[in-house]
Amino acid sequence: VGSPAAANSPHGGGALFLYPLADDGTPGAPAILHQDSPGVPGDSESGDQFGWTLASDGNLLAVGAPGETTNGRRWSGAVTLLKFTGVGLAFNALRLTQDSAGFETRAEAHDELGGHLAVRGNFVAMGVPDEDLGSARATGIVHVVEVTAAVKPTVKRVYNLHQNSAGIPGVNETNDRWGSAVALAANIGCTPLSVVIGAPGDKLGRTPSGAVTVVGLGTRCAARWLPLATF
């Protein structure tokens, strides 16, 4: 359970409450993790919002901290990956920001990376709807990170996706907010794994009616743009 303003985390920077569940689902006393806990990268600071979003699959847990300051840039955001070893609450951790290797864009104030997450297998999708690209404000970008299957997570590949990326329909426009919702889905069409991306401000004609884009990862499948009129 994420508690992004937990009073019992250092400086109110946010915490996770990890509840062990008995066979009948009864929760036991929680372990509390925050950014000053051993093994968790970063420092717990006021306004980090660590635990604002959580996404998991198997032993991989992604924790969003959209209020994190990166290199002096407030609310640029961060994502912490915790890969549990299967021995109690032991884990290995990896911290990602937009200044990490492989990211197309740099950490900027109020990007709020970590506000929108999805995990499937060893893939983590991170929507950044407040990202500015060129002259387009809050047009949005989605980063999909593939981490290694080993117990200690390391970055294997980063996909940087936006509406001016090759093969993706549409164009970056102000207030598209592409990446306001993200999901990772298997076996959609001709690709084993796709990222599904919501853009509530995307326009059909002049009207910001919203749209969904489905992008296959690691294939030559054509990306699909699905405006509201499609339904």
Give, as one character, the DSSP assignment of residue 21. Answer: B
* Percent of the chain predicted with pLDDT > 70: 97
- Grade residue 188 by pLDDT with cuts at 50, 70 and 90: confident
Going by C-alpha positions, the residue among 225, 209, 109 that lies closest to residue 161 is 225
Q: Are the C-beta atoms of residues 80 and 70 closer than 8 Å to each other? A: no
Averaged over 18-29, what is the pLDDT?
93
Give, as one character, the DSSP assignment of residue 39. Answer: T
- Grade residue 229 by pLDDT with cuts at 50, 70 and 90: low
| Region for residue 230 given its phi and psi (left: phi exceeds 0; alpha: psi -120 to 50; beta: otherwise) | alpha
The C-alpha atoms of residue 35 and residue 41 are separated, in whole angstroms, by 6
The 10s digit of each residue's pLDDT in 54-113 is 999 999 999 999 999 998 999 999 999 999 998 778 999 999 999 999 999 999 999 999
CB proximity list for 224: less than 8 A, separation 6 or greater: 169, 189, 213, 214
Mean confidence (pLDDT) of the chain? 92
In 39-67, which positions are buried (b, 16+ CB within 10 angstroms) versus exposed (e)?
Answer: ebebebbebbbbbbbebeeeebbbbbbbb
First to last CA, the chain: 35
3-class SS at 68?
Answer: coil
pTM of the predicted model as reported, rounded to 2 decimal places: 0.93
